[in-house]
Amino acid sequence: MKKAPSEINPRESPDLACLQSIIFDDERSPEEQAKTYKDEGNDYFKEKDYKKAMISYTEGLKKKCADTDLNVVLYTNRAAAQYHLGNFRSALQDVMAARKLKPCHLKAVVRGALCHLELRNFAEAVSWCDEGLQIDGKEKKLLDTRVKADKLKRMAQRDLRKAKLKEKKEQDQNETLIQAIQARNIRLVSGAAGEDEDSASEGPGALSLDGPDAENPCGARVTLDEQGRLGWPVLFLYPEYAQSDFISAFHEDSRFIDHLMVMFAETPSWDVEQKYCPDNLQVYFEDEERAELYRVPPENTLLQTLQHSRYSVKALTPAFLVCVGSSPFCKNFLQGRKVHQVK
Protein backbone atom coordinates (compact mmCIF):
# COMPACT_ATOMS: atom_id res chain seq x y z
CA MET A 1 0.00 0.00 0.00
CA LYS A 2 1.30 3.46 -0.93
CA LYS A 3 -1.27 5.22 1.28
CA ALA A 4 -3.84 4.28 3.89
CA PRO A 5 -7.34 4.31 2.39
CA SER A 6 -9.35 6.78 4.47
CA GLU A 7 -12.64 5.00 3.90
CA ILE A 8 -11.48 1.86 5.73
CA ASN A 9 -12.23 1.58 9.43
CA PRO A 10 -9.12 0.22 11.26
CA ARG A 11 -11.39 -1.89 13.51
CA GLU A 12 -12.69 -3.66 10.44
CA SER A 13 -9.20 -4.14 8.96
CA PRO A 14 -6.74 -5.85 11.34
CA ASP A 15 -3.87 -5.35 8.87
CA LEU A 16 -4.40 -1.61 8.73
CA ALA A 17 -4.76 -1.42 12.51
CA CYS A 18 -1.46 -3.28 12.87
CA LEU A 19 0.30 -0.89 10.47
CA GLN A 20 -1.04 2.16 12.31
CA SER A 21 0.04 0.78 15.68
CA ILE A 22 3.57 0.32 14.30
CA ILE A 23 3.75 3.78 12.72
CA PHE A 24 2.27 5.68 15.67
CA ASP A 25 3.55 3.51 18.49
CA ASP A 26 3.49 5.60 21.68
CA GLU A 27 6.61 3.82 22.85
CA ARG A 28 8.60 5.59 20.12
CA SER A 29 10.20 8.93 21.01
CA PRO A 30 8.22 12.17 20.49
CA GLU A 31 10.75 13.17 17.82
CA GLU A 32 10.18 9.95 15.85
CA GLN A 33 6.41 10.26 16.11
CA ALA A 34 6.48 13.94 15.13
CA LYS A 35 8.65 13.14 12.10
CA THR A 36 6.26 10.37 11.06
CA TYR A 37 3.35 12.81 11.19
CA LYS A 38 5.40 15.37 9.24
CA ASP A 39 6.11 12.82 6.50
CA GLU A 40 2.48 11.78 6.43
CA GLY A 41 1.44 15.44 6.14
CA ASN A 42 3.91 15.94 3.31
CA ASP A 43 2.39 13.02 1.42
CA TYR A 44 -1.10 14.47 1.82
CA PHE A 45 0.22 17.88 0.76
CA LYS A 46 1.66 16.42 -2.45
CA GLU A 47 -1.76 14.94 -3.16
CA LYS A 48 -3.27 18.41 -2.53
CA ASP A 49 -5.32 17.04 0.34
CA TYR A 50 -4.52 20.10 2.44
CA LYS A 51 -7.07 19.42 5.15
CA LYS A 52 -5.57 16.03 6.01
CA ALA A 53 -2.08 17.49 5.70
CA MET A 54 -3.00 20.16 8.24
CA ILE A 55 -4.34 17.49 10.64
CA SER A 56 -1.14 15.45 10.34
CA TYR A 57 1.09 18.46 11.03
CA THR A 58 -1.09 19.35 14.01
CA GLU A 59 -0.70 15.84 15.42
CA GLY A 60 3.05 16.17 14.99
CA LEU A 61 3.08 19.45 16.93
CA LYS A 62 1.05 17.85 19.70
CA LYS A 63 3.99 15.53 20.41
CA LYS A 64 5.93 18.57 21.69
CA CYS A 65 9.25 17.12 20.71
CA ALA A 66 12.50 18.83 21.67
CA ASP A 67 13.72 19.14 18.07
CA THR A 68 13.38 22.86 17.31
CA ASP A 69 14.08 22.47 13.60
CA LEU A 70 11.40 19.79 13.29
CA ASN A 71 8.83 21.97 15.06
CA VAL A 72 9.72 24.88 12.78
CA VAL A 73 9.07 22.68 9.74
CA LEU A 74 5.77 21.45 11.19
CA TYR A 75 4.58 25.01 11.82
CA THR A 76 5.74 26.21 8.41
CA ASN A 77 4.22 23.26 6.57
CA ARG A 78 0.95 23.61 8.44
CA ALA A 79 0.97 27.30 7.48
CA ALA A 80 1.31 26.25 3.82
CA ALA A 81 -1.68 23.88 4.16
CA GLN A 82 -3.73 26.58 5.89
CA TYR A 83 -2.79 29.02 3.15
CA HIS A 84 -4.08 26.70 0.43
CA LEU A 85 -7.30 26.25 2.41
CA GLY A 86 -7.76 30.03 2.51
CA ASN A 87 -7.17 30.25 6.27
CA PHE A 88 -4.73 33.14 5.94
CA ARG A 89 -4.90 34.36 9.55
CA SER A 90 -4.28 30.88 10.92
CA ALA A 91 -1.43 30.45 8.45
CA LEU A 92 0.06 33.74 9.61
CA GLN A 93 -0.11 32.60 13.25
CA ASP A 94 1.79 29.45 12.32
CA VAL A 95 4.60 31.26 10.50
CA MET A 96 4.92 33.66 13.43
CA ALA A 97 5.23 30.66 15.76
CA ALA A 98 7.88 29.21 13.43
CA ARG A 99 9.84 32.48 13.43
CA LYS A 100 9.74 32.60 17.23
CA LEU A 101 11.68 29.37 17.19
CA LYS A 102 13.85 30.32 14.20
CA PRO A 103 13.64 34.00 13.16
CA CYS A 104 15.63 33.53 9.94
CA HIS A 105 13.66 30.58 8.57
CA LEU A 106 13.19 31.74 4.98
CA LYS A 107 10.16 29.60 4.12
CA ALA A 108 8.29 31.01 7.11
CA VAL A 109 9.13 34.56 6.03
CA VAL A 110 7.97 33.91 2.45
CA ARG A 111 4.68 32.38 3.57
CA GLY A 112 4.13 35.16 6.08
CA ALA A 113 4.59 37.78 3.36
CA LEU A 114 2.10 35.94 1.14
CA CYS A 115 -0.43 35.78 3.99
CA HIS A 116 -0.13 39.51 4.63
CA LEU A 117 -0.66 40.11 0.92
CA GLU A 118 -3.86 38.05 0.93
CA LEU A 119 -5.06 39.84 4.07
CA ARG A 120 -4.42 43.19 2.33
CA ASN A 121 -1.83 44.13 4.94
CA PHE A 122 0.34 45.58 2.20
CA ALA A 123 2.75 47.52 4.41
CA GLU A 124 3.38 44.42 6.54
CA ALA A 125 3.87 42.32 3.40
CA VAL A 126 6.55 44.73 2.17
CA SER A 127 8.22 44.68 5.60
CA TRP A 128 8.30 40.86 5.68
CA CYS A 129 9.71 40.80 2.15
CA ASP A 130 12.48 43.21 3.17
CA GLU A 131 13.35 41.00 6.16
CA GLY A 132 13.44 37.92 3.94
CA LEU A 133 15.59 39.62 1.31
CA GLN A 134 18.18 40.36 4.00
CA ILE A 135 18.42 36.58 4.42
CA ASP A 136 18.43 35.85 0.68
CA GLY A 137 18.48 38.84 -1.64
CA LYS A 138 17.74 36.70 -4.70
CA GLU A 139 14.63 34.90 -3.44
CA LYS A 140 12.27 35.29 -6.43
CA LYS A 141 9.02 34.83 -4.51
CA LEU A 142 9.99 37.63 -2.13
CA LEU A 143 11.09 39.91 -4.95
CA ASP A 144 7.83 39.35 -6.86
CA THR A 145 5.69 39.63 -3.74
CA ARG A 146 7.39 42.87 -2.70
CA VAL A 147 6.74 44.48 -6.09
CA LYS A 148 3.08 43.44 -5.98
CA ALA A 149 2.58 44.44 -2.34
CA ASP A 150 4.23 47.83 -2.84
CA LYS A 151 2.04 48.55 -5.88
CA LEU A 152 -1.12 47.55 -4.01
CA LYS A 153 -0.03 49.59 -0.99
CA ARG A 154 0.30 52.71 -3.15
CA MET A 155 -3.08 52.04 -4.74
CA ALA A 156 -4.69 51.57 -1.31
CA GLN A 157 -3.14 54.83 -0.06
CA ARG A 158 -4.39 56.62 -3.18
CA ASP A 159 -7.91 55.21 -2.70
CA LEU A 160 -7.85 56.26 0.96
CA ARG A 161 -6.88 59.81 0.01
CA LYS A 162 -9.67 59.90 -2.57
CA ALA A 163 -12.18 58.59 -0.03
CA LYS A 164 -11.15 61.24 2.51
CA LEU A 165 -11.41 64.01 -0.08
CA LYS A 166 -14.85 62.74 -1.11
CA GLU A 167 -15.96 62.57 2.52
CA LYS A 168 -14.71 66.12 3.16
CA LYS A 169 -16.51 67.38 0.04
CA GLU A 170 -19.75 65.72 1.13
CA GLN A 171 -19.39 67.17 4.62
CA ASP A 172 -18.92 70.65 3.17
CA GLN A 173 -21.93 70.19 0.88
CA ASN A 174 -24.05 68.95 3.79
CA GLU A 175 -23.00 71.91 5.91
CA THR A 176 -23.97 74.30 3.10
CA LEU A 177 -27.35 72.55 2.73
CA ILE A 178 -27.96 72.70 6.47
CA GLN A 179 -27.24 76.42 6.53
CA ALA A 180 -29.57 76.96 3.55
CA ILE A 181 -32.39 75.06 5.28
CA GLN A 182 -31.83 76.95 8.51
CA ALA A 183 -31.86 80.28 6.71
CA ARG A 184 -35.37 79.44 5.40
CA ASN A 185 -36.75 78.47 8.85
CA ILE A 186 -37.85 75.07 7.59
CA ARG A 187 -38.78 72.56 10.26
CA LEU A 188 -37.34 69.04 9.89
CA VAL A 189 -38.51 65.86 11.57
CA SER A 190 -36.40 62.71 11.73
CA GLY A 191 -38.23 59.81 10.14
CA ALA A 192 -36.13 57.30 12.10
CA ALA A 193 -36.42 58.69 15.60
CA GLY A 194 -39.58 60.73 15.17
CA GLU A 195 -37.98 63.63 17.02
CA ASP A 196 -38.18 67.24 15.89
CA GLU A 197 -35.05 68.98 14.74
CA ASP A 198 -35.96 72.66 14.47
CA SER A 199 -33.66 74.34 11.98
CA ALA A 200 -34.70 77.78 13.15
CA SER A 201 -33.57 77.34 16.74
CA GLU A 202 -30.77 74.76 16.68
CA GLY A 203 -27.15 75.20 15.65
CA PRO A 204 -25.64 73.67 12.49
CA GLY A 205 -24.52 70.57 14.36
CA ALA A 206 -28.09 69.75 15.37
CA LEU A 207 -29.11 68.77 11.84
CA SER A 208 -27.70 65.94 9.83
CA LEU A 209 -28.06 65.05 6.17
CA ASP A 210 -26.37 61.70 6.77
CA GLY A 211 -27.81 58.43 8.03
CA PRO A 212 -31.19 56.81 7.33
CA ASP A 213 -32.99 60.09 6.56
CA ALA A 214 -30.44 61.51 4.12
CA GLU A 215 -31.78 59.61 1.13
CA ASN A 216 -35.26 58.29 0.46
CA PRO A 217 -35.90 54.82 -1.05
CA CYS A 218 -35.94 56.33 -4.57
CA GLY A 219 -32.35 57.53 -4.12
CA ALA A 220 -33.10 61.27 -4.26
CA ARG A 221 -31.60 63.85 -1.90
CA VAL A 222 -32.08 67.51 -1.07
CA THR A 223 -29.90 69.55 -3.43
CA LEU A 224 -28.68 73.12 -3.76
CA ASP A 225 -28.15 74.39 -7.31
CA GLU A 226 -25.74 77.06 -8.56
CA GLN A 227 -28.42 79.73 -8.16
CA GLY A 228 -28.79 78.84 -4.49
CA ARG A 229 -32.18 77.15 -4.92
CA LEU A 230 -33.09 74.11 -2.88
CA GLY A 231 -34.50 71.11 -4.72
CA TRP A 232 -36.54 68.65 -2.66
CA PRO A 233 -37.68 65.09 -3.32
CA VAL A 234 -41.47 65.41 -2.97
CA LEU A 235 -44.17 62.76 -2.62
CA PHE A 236 -47.76 63.27 -3.83
CA LEU A 237 -50.27 60.84 -2.33
CA TYR A 238 -53.70 60.08 -3.82
CA PRO A 239 -55.58 58.38 -0.95
CA GLU A 240 -58.71 57.70 -3.03
CA TYR A 241 -56.86 55.16 -5.16
CA ALA A 242 -53.88 54.41 -2.89
CA GLN A 243 -51.58 55.77 -5.60
CA SER A 244 -48.62 58.14 -5.48
CA ASP A 245 -46.27 60.26 -7.58
CA PHE A 246 -42.66 61.04 -6.77
CA ILE A 247 -40.82 64.16 -7.90
CA SER A 248 -37.07 63.77 -7.43
CA ALA A 249 -36.27 67.51 -7.64
CA PHE A 250 -39.11 69.93 -6.85
CA HIS A 251 -37.43 73.36 -6.85
CA GLU A 252 -38.48 75.49 -3.95
CA ASP A 253 -39.71 78.39 -6.13
CA SER A 254 -41.83 76.11 -8.35
CA ARG A 255 -45.61 76.19 -7.91
CA PHE A 256 -47.78 73.18 -7.20
CA ILE A 257 -50.00 73.93 -10.19
CA ASP A 258 -46.96 73.76 -12.50
CA HIS A 259 -46.24 70.18 -11.47
CA LEU A 260 -49.90 69.15 -11.46
CA MET A 261 -50.26 70.41 -15.05
CA VAL A 262 -47.35 68.20 -16.13
CA MET A 263 -48.37 65.11 -14.14
CA PHE A 264 -52.00 65.20 -15.31
CA ALA A 265 -51.44 66.33 -18.89
CA GLU A 266 -52.54 62.78 -19.66
CA THR A 267 -55.07 60.81 -17.66
CA PRO A 268 -53.35 58.22 -15.43
CA SER A 269 -54.42 54.61 -15.91
CA TRP A 270 -55.86 54.39 -12.40
CA ASP A 271 -58.18 57.42 -12.95
CA VAL A 272 -61.01 55.37 -14.49
CA GLU A 273 -63.51 58.25 -14.14
CA GLN A 274 -61.06 60.76 -15.70
CA LYS A 275 -61.75 63.28 -12.98
CA TYR A 276 -58.17 64.02 -11.93
CA CYS A 277 -57.73 67.25 -13.88
CA PRO A 278 -55.48 70.04 -12.53
CA ASP A 279 -58.41 72.44 -12.13
CA ASN A 280 -60.31 69.90 -9.98
CA LEU A 281 -57.49 69.00 -7.60
CA GLN A 282 -56.98 70.14 -4.05
CA VAL A 283 -53.63 69.85 -2.27
CA TYR A 284 -53.30 69.31 1.49
CA PHE A 285 -50.60 68.71 4.04
CA GLU A 286 -51.18 67.07 7.40
CA ASP A 287 -50.14 68.39 10.79
CA GLU A 288 -49.62 65.03 12.47
CA GLU A 289 -49.05 66.59 15.88
CA ARG A 290 -52.53 68.13 15.92
CA ALA A 291 -54.16 65.69 13.45
CA GLU A 292 -55.27 68.65 11.31
CA LEU A 293 -55.19 69.31 7.56
CA TYR A 294 -54.06 72.43 5.74
CA ARG A 295 -55.24 73.18 2.21
CA VAL A 296 -52.49 74.59 0.00
CA PRO A 297 -53.40 77.00 -2.84
CA PRO A 298 -52.09 75.47 -6.11
CA GLU A 299 -50.46 78.81 -6.98
CA ASN A 300 -48.27 78.61 -3.86
CA THR A 301 -44.61 77.70 -4.24
CA LEU A 302 -43.07 74.79 -2.39
CA LEU A 303 -40.95 77.16 -0.30
CA GLN A 304 -44.02 79.10 0.87
CA THR A 305 -45.56 75.85 2.07
CA LEU A 306 -42.43 74.45 3.72
CA GLN A 307 -42.05 77.71 5.65
CA HIS A 308 -45.56 77.39 7.12
CA SER A 309 -45.38 77.28 10.91
CA ARG A 310 -47.30 73.96 11.07
CA TYR A 311 -45.44 72.15 8.30
CA SER A 312 -42.77 69.58 9.15
CA VAL A 313 -40.54 67.91 6.57
CA LYS A 314 -40.32 64.27 7.55
CA ALA A 315 -37.26 62.25 6.54
CA LEU A 316 -36.18 65.13 4.24
CA THR A 317 -39.05 64.29 1.87
CA PRO A 318 -42.05 66.66 1.87
CA ALA A 319 -45.36 64.84 1.30
CA PHE A 320 -48.77 66.14 0.21
CA LEU A 321 -52.26 64.70 -0.16
CA VAL A 322 -54.13 65.33 -3.42
CA CYS A 323 -57.88 64.85 -3.87
CA VAL A 324 -60.59 65.83 -6.34
CA GLY A 325 -62.39 68.56 -4.40
CA SER A 326 -65.89 67.84 -5.70
CA SER A 327 -65.71 64.05 -5.26
CA PRO A 328 -67.68 62.14 -2.62
CA PHE A 329 -64.43 60.54 -1.48
CA CYS A 330 -62.90 63.94 -0.71
CA LYS A 331 -65.96 65.02 1.29
CA ASN A 332 -65.86 61.79 3.33
CA PHE A 333 -62.08 62.07 3.72
CA LEU A 334 -62.38 65.60 5.15
CA GLN A 335 -65.44 64.89 7.28
CA GLY A 336 -64.69 65.19 10.97
CA ARG A 337 -61.26 66.72 10.36
CA LYS A 338 -60.29 70.27 11.11
CA VAL A 339 -59.16 71.90 7.83
CA HIS A 340 -57.26 75.19 7.61
CA GLN A 341 -56.72 77.29 4.53
CA VAL A 342 -53.11 78.23 3.83
CA LYS A 343 -52.72 81.79 2.60
What are the residue ranges spanned by the domains of the chain? 10-156, 196-341
Under 8 Å between Cβ of 298 and 283: yes
Backbone phi, psi, residue 272, to 5° = -65, -25
Parts of the chain with a pLDDT under 50: 10-11, 14, 16-18, 193-206, 212
Res 41: pLDDT: 96
Res 212: pLDDT: 45
Q: Which fold has domain 10-156?
A: 1.25.40
Under 8 Å between Cβ of 240 and 327: yes
Give the amino acid at 196. D
Res 191: pLDDT: 61
Res 219: pLDDT: 72
Return all residues near 120 (Cβ < 8 A) that are at least 6 apart: 152, 156
Domain 196-341 has CATH 3.10.20.90: yes
Res 203: pLDDT: 39
- Predicted confidence (pLDDT) per residue in 223-273, tens digit: 999 899 999 999 999 999 999 999 999 999 999 999 999 999 999 999 999
Res 190: pLDDT: 74
Res 284: pLDDT: 97
Residue 314 CA to residue 102 CA, distance in Å, equals: 64
Please tell me the pTM assigned to this model: 0.58
- Predicted confidence (pLDDT) per residue in 157-171, tens digit: 999 999 999 999 989
Residue 184 CA to residue 318 CA, distance in Å, equals: 15
Buried b (16+ CB within 10 A) or exposed e, 124-149: bbbbbbebbbeeeeebebbeebbeeb
